């Protein structure tokens, strides 16, 4: 339980001292001066001033952990969607107000300075943002932890709309360097690729020697991660790839300047770009190399640190090191650790395997079959010949020693459980490899973890019932409330104490005010002020005028059919149609706000964006509807935009087909900031409804069992199309030129998909969704009831603190304790 002593960070210096430090850095670190400095230079100077504390924290934390021989966790993730770091670091160090005042004294607005920082978008969506929240929580809980990932030169693409269509532009997050990262050339690693494996017989002993055909250098960049209160500062270590020898001098000297350079260019492509896929498979050789590159460099780094502290005896390796696989992307780390132990450290297979299994655990983030990674055996064999041998050995021992005794002679089960999928081309199932090579597998919300057992790995669950557990996702309340919603934070601080950003259960203290008229007014005034701020953002980004009187109805997430942005679209069109038919149609004005990027190769997702933009254009300029509806699609949705929008949201759209959204985390951020969820019984929505109470969320639609029943019965979308007059009318609209004057059929793909196949059952949920929206409308028109529901949401979300998620991982999976760094 919460300690009595306040954990709220206290500033280590005054505004005056901070100001002096900023000016000093402006002159001596940036080489400029007050009259000349741009906001960007000021931002760098502030970062340098903050870094004095951050770097000190990094060294204190390292020293403590090394000295205490602490068990550490290594969080392996191909994605870390960090966003901006300045405001979070200031908040966690307790320096925000100090910095605000210091900048005021320099005639600067902190908001303008914060805006200068580019988002660090080294991730696609939920999975990457979860990793970012988790490393914040690990630092806050004083857990010795390193996040490992790739130092992409270009993060997720910048999205523009050209005539309503998504256009992708390269992201340049470190065009001018990033003040937050420290290069650590002394810890670089060599990563091997391609080549062949030699079998060596020596005095009756067989060993394998991998002769790689290429090597890469992995250069680590450390991003300090400041825990709340600033006591522990962990690092996120991101690997950049470089050619092993910058130039091949021999080639260079013999006149091959371009050839010599070509190799380094090729090597650098490994950390050049983030794959912009999300829930879809990217079957590319470069992606496999990325996965191996960062896994191998990270394992080598962990080994190096272990040996520096404990010498060459690896006996305690698994006791001191946990490794968490964030989805299957780093699964190749399993055979890599085996390779290191068996080939390089001379371990017997069984001992190495026991250590490997004791080290790894794996988080599954999706059940969508197209997102479950598989690699062609031939490809792995080419790029990582020794690993392919090891995977086959793991598989054969697994099938003969574990599967066979449980199901003797059952080849069907063996075929299902084999890491190798047979077929025209043999494929390696990375999910199977991860589950077999880990001691624990977790899903990310209760329902999802149940489905992992029931639908994805039922036999593995029967084989190892203890292996499968749930850890419901969470979000850091520091970023997603304290930093992004200062008005609400101040109000909360007035009524409960200041420790809520660490102990979110303290917000329960707000429940007693849920019916208090004065508190309701204050709470809704905060929402109102946030909305007024956001009205300006909408105007700036889309040139659409909206009113803060309207309901702000928000759907922000990657664009994917299963998330059903098109269900939202159909309902918007239906509302529009109702008003056209009956201009007095009774509804409170609504602004529908979308933010979503589509994977560049995902055609239908891009068509849905285009359709929403076209419908928006028409509705927003139609004076007949009296501004009852506005639709805005915000371009380039990202962490920093979410931070502005979430505090201004009234309604949270969480409308995935039941069983498809593993958890969702935007649902948690929105509910914490007082938006009312309209959602299906899917992912963490179910747990949000449990915590906030069913009366304070609006649940609609089919549940998982209904979906299965409909599928079994034989789902025919055309029936729903024919039998619902409104649905039919709006779908037909998409076919003509109503929204694309003079160019009929531009939006037809969306209709055809829905009427002909509708893989995510949009049509059967339409009516229930439309009714649910009526409930939202009625609730909003009862301001006291609305305020009450919103307050109860804010007050009830403690479970979704990522500190709780991390404590669960620490207690049930990693078996690790926090080790607070020594104070100065």
Residues noted as catalytic: 365, 557-558, 563, 665, 669
Q: Starting at the edge strand that comes first in sequence, how are the strands of the sheet with 590-595 ordered?
A: 629-634, 590-595, 551-556, 651-654, 676-679, 698-699
The C-alpha torsion from 222 through 227 and 232 to 235, rounded to 10°, is: -10
Token pair 């669960």 is at which residue? Answer: 808
* β 427-429/374-376 pair status: antiparallel
Q: If we measure between CA atoms, which residue out of 468, 695, 637, 557 comes closest to residue 121?
A: 637
526 belongs to the binding site for ligand NBG (CB under 6 A): no
**Bridge partners, residue 654, by sequence:** 679
Q: Work out the number of other CB atoms within 10 angstroms of the CB of residue 583.
A: 11
Polymer length of the chain: 824
Where are any strands of DSSP class E within 629-765? 629-634, 651-654, 676-679, 698-699
661 belongs to the binding site for ligand NBG (CB under 6 A): yes
The piece of 202-210, 385-393, 658-666, 709-717 that touches ligand NBG (CB under 6 A) is 658-666
Q: Which is nearer to ligand NBG, 502 or 669 (CB)?
A: 669
Whether the Cβ atoms of residue 607 and residue 749 lie closer than 8 Å to each other: yes
CA–CA gap between residue 137 and residue 132 (Å, rounded): 9
127 belongs to the binding site for ligand NBG (CB under 6 A): yes
The piece of 120-128, 286-294, 458-466, 487-495 that touches ligand NBG (CB under 6 A) is 120-128
The least CB distance from residue 634 to ligand NBG, in Å, is 21
671 belongs to the binding site for ligand NBG (CB under 6 A): no
CA–CA gap between residue 817 and residue 52 (Å, rounded): 28
CA–CA gap between residue 58 and residue 302 (Å, rounded): 17
The least CB distance from residue 765 to ligand NBG, in Å, is 18
Six-digit token string for 75: 């969080």
473 belongs to the binding site for ligand NBG (CB under 6 A): yes
The piece of 126-134, 140-148, 330-338, 797-805 that touches ligand NBG (CB under 6 A) is 126-134
Where are any strands of DSSP class E within 72-157? 72-76, 80-83, 120-122, 145-150
- Report the residue from 26, 50, 130, 342 that binds ligand NBG according to the rule CB under 6 A: 130
Q: One symbol per residue from 599 to 638: x for binding ligand NBG (CB under 6 A), - otherwise; what is it? A: ----------------------------------------
The least CB distance from residue 126 to ligand NBG, in Å, is 3
125 belongs to the binding site for ligand NBG (CB under 6 A): yes
Q: Which is nearer to ligand NBG, 303 or 445 (CB)?
A: 445
The least CB distance from residue 171 to ligand NBG, in Å, is 18
Q: If we measure between CA atoms, which residue out of 425, 424, 342 comes closest to residue 390?
A: 342
The least CB distance from residue 759 to ligand NBG, in Å, is 16
Q: Which is nearer to ligand NBG, 510 or 662 (CB)?
A: 662
CB contact set of 35 (below 8 Å; sequence gap of 6+): none
Six-digit token string for 763: 């049509």
Six-digit token string for 249: 């001098």
**Bridge partners, residue 72, by sequence:** 321
561 belongs to the binding site for ligand NBG (CB under 6 A): no
Hey, CA dihedral for 339, 345, 350, 352, is it positive or negative? negative
Element (H, E) at 215: strand 214-226
# binding residues, ligand NBG (CB under 6 A)? 18
Q: Residue of minimal CB distance from ligand NBG?
A: 126
Query: What radius of gyration do the chain's Cα atoms show?
Result: 27
Q: Which is nearer to ligand NBG, 467 or 660 (CB)?
A: 660
The least CB distance from residue 480 to ligand NBG, in Å, is 14
The piece of 170-178, 492-500, 540-548, 662-670 that touches ligand NBG (CB under 6 A) is 662-670
Q: Which is nearer to ligand NBG, 298 or 663 (CB)?
A: 663
Q: Provide the 3-class DSSP secondary structure of residue 271.
A: coil
The piece of 394-402, 520-528, 657-665, 695-703 that touches ligand NBG (CB under 6 A) is 657-665
* β 80-83/196-202 pair status: unpaired
- Report the residue from 232, 613, 663, 796 that binds ligand NBG according to the rule CB under 6 A: 663
Q: Which is nearer to ligand NBG, 233 or 646 (CB)?
A: 646
Q: Which is nearer to ligand NBG, 527 or 564 (CB)?
A: 564
278 belongs to the binding site for ligand NBG (CB under 6 A): yes
The piece of 159-167, 195-203, 288-296, 656-664 that touches ligand NBG (CB under 6 A) is 656-664
Whether the Cβ atoms of residue 532 and residue 647 lie closer than 8 Å to each other: no
Q: Provide the 3-class DSSP secondary structure of residue 653.
A: strand
Q: Which is nearer to ligand NBG, 92 or 364 (CB)?
A: 364
φ/ψ of residue 708, rounded to 5: -60, -45
Q: Which is nearer to ligand NBG, 102 or 445 (CB)?
A: 445
Whether the Cβ atoms of residue 92 and residue 478 lie closer than 8 Å to each other: yes
The piece of 347-355, 380-388, 660-668, 723-731 that touches ligand NBG (CB under 6 A) is 660-668
Q: Provide the 3-class DSSP secondary structure of residue 745.
A: coil
The least CB distance from residue 91 to ligand NBG, in Å, is 23
Element (H, E) at 167: strand 165-169
805 belongs to the binding site for ligand NBG (CB under 6 A): no
653 belongs to the binding site for ligand NBG (CB under 6 A): no
664 belongs to the binding site for ligand NBG (CB under 6 A): yes
CA–CA gap between residue 320 and residue 302 (Å, rounded): 10
The least CB distance from residue 207 to ligand NBG, in Å, is 38
CA–CA gap between residue 784 and residue 791 (Å, rounded): 11
- Report the residue from 289, 297, 444, 641 that binds ligand NBG according to the rule CB under 6 A: 444
Residue 780, CA distances (Å) to 218, 242, 551, 579, 588 in order: 55, 56, 8, 19, 8
Q: Which is nearer to ligand NBG, 323 or 445 (CB)?
A: 445
The piece of 119-127, 135-143, 604-612, 717-725 that touches ligand NBG (CB under 6 A) is 119-127
SS3 content of the chain, % helix, strand, coil (to 5): 50, 15, 30
126 belongs to the binding site for ligand NBG (CB under 6 A): yes
Residues 681-720 that bind ligand NBG (CB under 6 A): 683
The least CB distance from residue 111 to ligand NBG, in Å, is 30
734 belongs to the binding site for ligand NBG (CB under 6 A): no
DSSP at 657: P
Residues 352-381 that bind ligand NBG (CB under 6 A): 365-366, 371
Hey, CA dihedral for 395, 401, 406, 409, is it positive or negative? positive
Q: One symbol per residue from 324 to 343: x for binding ligand NBG (CB under 6 A), - otherwise; what is it? A: ---x----------------
Q: Which residues bind ligand NBG (CB under 6 A)?
A: 125-127, 130, 278-279, 327, 365-366, 371, 444, 473, 661-665, 683
């Amino acid at each position: 339980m919460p300690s009595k002593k306040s954990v709220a960070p206290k500033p280590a210096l005054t505004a005056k001292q901070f100001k002096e430090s900023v000016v000093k850095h402006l002159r001596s670190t940036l080489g400029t001066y007050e009259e000349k400095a741009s906001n960007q230079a000021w931002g760098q100077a502030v970062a340098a001033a903050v870094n004095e504390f951050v770097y000190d924290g990094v060294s204190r934390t390292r020293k403590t952990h090394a000295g205490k021989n602490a068990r550490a966790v290594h969080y392996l993730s191909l994605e870390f969607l960090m966003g901006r770091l300045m405001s979070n670091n200031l908040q966690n160090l307790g320096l925000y107000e100090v910095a605000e005042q210091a900048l005021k004294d320099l005639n600067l607005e902190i908001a303008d300075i914060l805006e200068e920082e580019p988002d660090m978008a080294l991730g696609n969506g939920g999975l990457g943002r979860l990793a970012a929240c988790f490393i914040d929580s690990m630092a806050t809980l004083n857990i010795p932890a390193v996040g490992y990932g790739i130092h992409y030169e270009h993060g997720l693409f910048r999205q523009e709309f050209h005539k309503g269509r998504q256009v992708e532009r390269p992201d340049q997050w470190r065009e001018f360097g990033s003040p937050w990262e420290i290069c650590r050339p002394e810890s670089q690693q060599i990563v091997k690729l391609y080549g062949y494996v030699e079998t060596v017989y020596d005095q009756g002993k067989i060993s394998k020697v991998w002769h790689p055909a290429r090597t890469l250098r992995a250069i680590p960049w450390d991003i300090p991660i400041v825990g709340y209160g600033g006591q522990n500062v962990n690092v996120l270590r991101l690997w950049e790839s470089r050619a092993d020898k910058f130039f091949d001098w021999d080639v260079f000297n013999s006149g091959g300047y371009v050839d010599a350079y070509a190799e380094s260019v090729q090597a650098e492509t490994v950390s050049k770009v983030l794959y912009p896929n999300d829930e879809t498979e990217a079957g590319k050789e470069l992606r496999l190399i990325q996965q191996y590159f960062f896994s191998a460099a990270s394992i080598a780094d962990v080994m190096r640190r272990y040996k520096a502290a404990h010498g060459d005896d690896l006996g305690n390796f698994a006791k001191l090191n946990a490794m968490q696989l964030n989805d299957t992307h780093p699964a190749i780390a399993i055979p890599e650790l085996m390779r290191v132990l068996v080939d390089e450290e001379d371990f017997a297979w069984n001992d190495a395997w026991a250590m490997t299994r004791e080290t790894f655990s794996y988080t599954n983030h999706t059940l969508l079959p197209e997102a479950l990674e598989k690699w062609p055996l031939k490809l792995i064999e080419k790029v990582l010949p020794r690993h392919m041998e090891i995977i086959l050995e793991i598989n054969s021992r697994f099938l003969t020693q574990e599967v066979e005794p449980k199901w003797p002679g059952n080849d069907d089960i063996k075929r299902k459980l084999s890491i190798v999928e047979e077929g025209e081309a043999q494929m390696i199932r990375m999910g199977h490899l991860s589950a077999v090579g880990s001691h624990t597998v977790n899903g990310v919300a209760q329902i999802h973890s149940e489905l992992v057992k029931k639908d994805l790995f039922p036999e593995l669950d029967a084989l190892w019932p203890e292996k499968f557990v749930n850890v419901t996702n969470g979000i850091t309340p520091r970023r997603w409330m304290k930093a992004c919603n200062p008005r609400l934070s101040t109000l909360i601080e007035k009524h409960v104490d200041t420790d809520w950003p660490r102990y979110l259960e303290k917000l329960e203290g707000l429940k007693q005010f849920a019916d208090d008229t004065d508190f309701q007014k204050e709470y809704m005034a905060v929402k109102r002020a946030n909305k007024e701020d956001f009205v300006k953002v909408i105007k700036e980004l889309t040139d659409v005028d909206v009113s803060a009187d309207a309901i702000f109805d928000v759907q922000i997430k990657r664009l994917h059919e299963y998330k059903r942005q098109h269900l939202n679209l159909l309902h918007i069109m239906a509302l529009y149609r109702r008003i056209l038919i009956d201009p007095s149609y009774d509804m409170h004005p609504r602004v529908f706000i979308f933010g979503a990027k589509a994977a560049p190769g995902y055609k239908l997702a891009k068509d849905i964006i285009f359709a929403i933009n076209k419908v928006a254009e028409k509705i927003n300029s139609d004076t007949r509807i009296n501004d009852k509806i506005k639709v805005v699609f915000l371009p380039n949705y990202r962490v920093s935009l979410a931070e502005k929008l979430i505090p201004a949201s009234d309604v949270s759209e969480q409308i995935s087909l039941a069983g498809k959204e593993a958890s969702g985390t935007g649902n948690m951020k929105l509910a914490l900031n007082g938006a009312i969820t309209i959602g299906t019984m899917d992912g963490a929505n179910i747990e949000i409804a449990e915590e906030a109470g069913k009366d304070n969320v609006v649940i609609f639609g089919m549940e998982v069992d209904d979906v299965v029943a409909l599928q079994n019965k034989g789902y025919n979308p055309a029936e729903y199309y024919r039998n619902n007059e409104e649905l039919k009318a709006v779908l037909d609209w998409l076919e003509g030129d109503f929204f694309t004057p003079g160019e009929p059929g531009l939006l037809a793909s969306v209709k055809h998909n829905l009427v002909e196949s509708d893989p995510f059952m949009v049509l059967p949920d339409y009516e229930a969704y439309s009714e649910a929206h009526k409930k939202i409308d009625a609730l909003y028109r009862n301001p006291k009831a609305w305020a009450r529901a919103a307050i109860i949401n804010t007050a009830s979300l403690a479970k979704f603190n990522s500190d709780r998620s991390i404590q669960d991982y620490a207690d049930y999976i990693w078996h690790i304790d926090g080790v607070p760094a020594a104070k100065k």
